[in-house]
């Protein structure tokens, strides 16, 4: 594993700027990986699946450190608006969920009042202990075969729109195989 400063340098480039979220996210992911005894997430890139619970700054840093990408199916997004992530070790089956403590934000804001808001928070997130910043829980996560990186399965075609569907994401409605959009989960409207 790299050092906090090394990760922060990489995170700033990948994310576009250095911010408090990057510091918190790097710390969060380093803790999660350490708990799982994963020393080198790059070398062991097929070992970890990460579930993130928010789409904000912090998520970019978590994904970077854990080396989990959406396009590799190793990053899973649950849109719950919570600064938390669960790291699943596919090798051992162990999983740990790390959540930012509600109290940590206020604490970080007040720690270096002489600095600018984000700069002070960055410095505080780098300095505070894991115990002060995070709650840690050992959990069990069942990663379905079709959710695993590298899953190979048949592709089916939606009986309504004709588009192909991978990874068993189809649903059967009244005996017809449909994509989720045609089954009623559409997030867009045709114009
Ligand atoms: Zn940011
Ligand atoms: Zn369809």
Provide CATH 3.30.60 ranges for the chain. Answer: 153-185
In terms of Cβ atoms closer than 10 Å to its own Cβ (0-12, 13-18, 19+), residue 5 is exposed
pLDDT at position 116 over 90:
no
Residue 29 C-alpha to ligand 1 middle, in angstroms? 16
Residue 153 C-alpha to ligand 2 middle, in angstroms? 19
Beta strands in 23-152 (DSSP E): 48-52, 75-77, 84-89, 95-100, 134-139
Residue 181 C-alpha to ligand 2 middle, in angstroms? 6
Residue 16 C-alpha to ligand 1 middle, in angstroms? 7
For residue range 72-109, what is the model confidence (pLDDT) as tens digits?
999 999 999 999 999 999 999 999 999 999 999 899 98
Provide CATH 3.30.1330.130 ranges for the chain. Answer: 4-145
CATH no. of 4-145: 3.30.1330.130
For residue range 129-161, what is the model confidence (pLDDT) as tens digits?
999 999 999 999 999 999 999 999 899 999 999
Residue 17 C-alpha to ligand 1 middle, in angstroms? 6
Residue 73 C-alpha to ligand 2 middle, in angstroms? 22
In CATH terms, is domain 153-185 a member of 3.40.50? no
Which ligand sits nearest to residue 165's alpha carbon? 2
């Amino acid at each position: 594993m790299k050092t906090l400063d090394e990760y922060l340098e990489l995170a700033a480039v990948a994310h576009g700027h250095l911010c408090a979220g990057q510091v918190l996210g790097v710390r969060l992911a380093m803790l999660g990986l350490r708990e799982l005894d994963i020393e080198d997430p790059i070398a062991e890139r097929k070992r970890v699946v990460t579930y993130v619970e928010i789409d904000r700054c912090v998520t970019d840093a978590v994904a970077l450190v854990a080396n989990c990408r959406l396009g590799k199916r190793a990053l899973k997004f649950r849109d719950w608006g919570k600064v938390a992530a669960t790291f699943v070790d596919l090798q051992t089956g162990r999983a740990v969920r790390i959540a930012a403590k509600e109290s940590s934000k206020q604490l970080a804001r007040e720690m270096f009042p002489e600095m600018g808001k984000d700069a002070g928070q960055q410095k505080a997130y780098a300095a505070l202990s894991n115990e002060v910043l995070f709650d840690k829980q050992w959990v069990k996560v069942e990663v379905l075969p079709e959710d695993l990186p590298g899953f190979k399965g048949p592709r089916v075609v939606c009986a309504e729109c004709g588009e192909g569907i991978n990874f068993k994401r189809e649903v059967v409605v009244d005996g017809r195989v449909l994509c989720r959009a045609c089954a009623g989960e559409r997030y867009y409207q045709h114009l």
